[in-house]
Structures are given as C-alpha cells and as structure tokens.
Amino acid sequence: RSGKMAKSTQLIDNEVFRAYATYTAIVLLKMMLMSLITAYYRMTRKAFVNPEDTASFGKGDSAKKYLRTDPDVERVRRGHLNDLENIVPFVGIGLLYALSGPELSTALLHFRIFTGARILHTFAYLIPLPQPGRGLSWAVGYAVTFSMAYKVLKTVFLL
C-alpha cells in the first residue's frame, strides 16, 4: 500500500505541479461560477428557454411569456462560452507545460497572469467595461497560453 501511495503522490509533491493544480482549480471554479450567475439572471429576469422550467408560473400563455431571451442572460452565457474556449486550452497546455520542467518562478508568472486576466475578463464582460478592457484581458490570457504551448513544443517535439 504505502509503496503504491508513494508513487501516486510524487507528482503532487512537485512544486510546479502544485502551482498548476492551484491555479487550474481556481480558474475552473471561476468558470463554474458562470453557471450560477446564468441561473441567477434567468430567475430574476424571468427568462427561460425550456418550457418545463416555466411550469411553476402556471400553464399556457401565462407561462409561455417567460420563454424568452434576456440581454443580461445572453451576456453571461457569452462570457461562459468564452471561458470554455480559453480555459480548456489553458488546462490542457498548462498540464503539459507543468510537466515540461519549467522554473517554478516562470511557471507561477504564467499561471498568475492567466488567472488574473480571466478574472478581469469576467468583470469586463459582466459590468460591462468599455473596450478595449475585455479585449485586452482576453489577449493577455491568450498570449500566456501561447507562451506555454511554445515551451511545451520546444521540449517534447515528437511528430
């Protein structure tokens, strides 16, 4: 048992991997928060998409009027989709990057900037801030992921 556990925990003992785990958990929790914000707006704005979700408002036309789109709901959903489009590459490339043996300080810099940029992006999208606020925060996260991918490909290139 202990031999098997020792093997299984060695990755988690590595400092760069622990940094990756910390920031990946934070950024995925941030993405999950978008579901709650969408649900909050759907309920406060009374804007639903599935007929079964409006059944508690009665039957027929009295319920049907809540099957509609709402600008605030759609805005959160766009932010959520943008998270998926950008956080999925970070999680995948970040794992490979963490295993490619970077310096801890360099790795922390990448993870911290990405996480900060995505949190800023969410605020910029939901408030909303005037452009180029959202555009810049998106571009910073994108550049960090690109930089990690470059390091990965330089290290492991095997076509």
Which chain residues interact with its own copies by CB under 8 A?
A: 4-5, 7-19, 21-22, 24-26, 28-29, 31-32, 34-35, 49-50, 52-53, 55-56, 75, 78, 80-81, 84-89, 91-93, 95-96, 99-101, 128-131, 134, 142, 145-146, 149, 152-153, 155-159
Chain position carrying tokens 């295993």: 99
129 CB neighbour count, 10 Å cutoff: 15
- Dist. CA 11–CA 104, nearest whole Å: 14
Shortest Cβ 140–its own copies spacing (Å): 13
Shortest Cβ 40–its own copies spacing (Å): 13
Give the distance from CA 36 to its chain's centroid: 14
Cα–Cα–Cα angle for 20, 26, 28, rounded to 5 degrees: 95
Of residues 45 and 91, the one with the C-beta less far from its own copies: 91
Of residues 99 and 140, the one with the C-beta less far from its own copies: 99
Chain position carrying tokens 């319920």: 63
